[in-house]
Amino acid sequence: MARVFCPFFFRMLAAAALCCALFPAAAGADDLSGQGRAVFGAAKDSVITVKAVISMSFGGEEQVNEQEANATVINSDGLAVLSLSAVDLTSLFAAMEDLPEGVSSKLVSLKMVGQDGSEQEAEVVLRDKDLDLAFIRPTAKPEVPMPNVNLENLAVPGVMDPVVVVGQMGAVA
């Protein structure tokens, strides 16, 4: 005589299988969250705010824009890296082939704002349009070393490895 299993049994079996499948993933997610918090804790003071005043001219008219962006300090003297488009608005239009002639931008002022709210005048020292990167540094050497990301012990991510991005939103410094 064959035994007939009731639908309740199959539901319980399916629920048990689902729990077994999800619990290792949940444990991995908790581990990943903890690792992300550790990365954030180590790098958060290295993320600063950059305030830029940029003058755009086009068609004989000039417009002044104020922008804020995040930058990451990469050495104790204050060398920092950020998106070039944050300090050079014409780099945003570089991909446009029909950019009108005579469009230009000029960086009027640039300030680095630390976590404590202190502001330092800064200058752009290198622009890489292909990678959309700008390297900036304070015009005067900081009195105390700035918190920075140590580029000596970088990990090389593999395909499908999780990546943690540390940034700030809103009033960032």
Domain total in the chain: 1
Of 82, 78, 163, the residue nearest 126 (C-alpha): 82
Domain membership of residue 104 (yes or no) is: yes
Q: Dump pLDDT digits (tens) for 30-39.
A: 688 888 888 8
Strand spans (E) along 24-132: 47-58, 61-73, 80-83, 104-113, 119-128
Q: Which of 41-45, 50-54, 128-132, 137-141 has the lowest mean pLDDT?
A: 41-45
Comparison of pLDDT for 34 and 1, the residue scoring more: 34
The answer to whether position 144 is within a domain reads no
- Enclosing domain of residue 58: 46-138
Q: Please write the tens of the pLDDT for every residue from 57-91.
A: 877 788 888 989 999 999 999 999 999 988 887 77
Q: What is the mean pLDDT of residues 84-111?
A: 77
CATH number of the domain within which 72 lies: 2.40.10.10
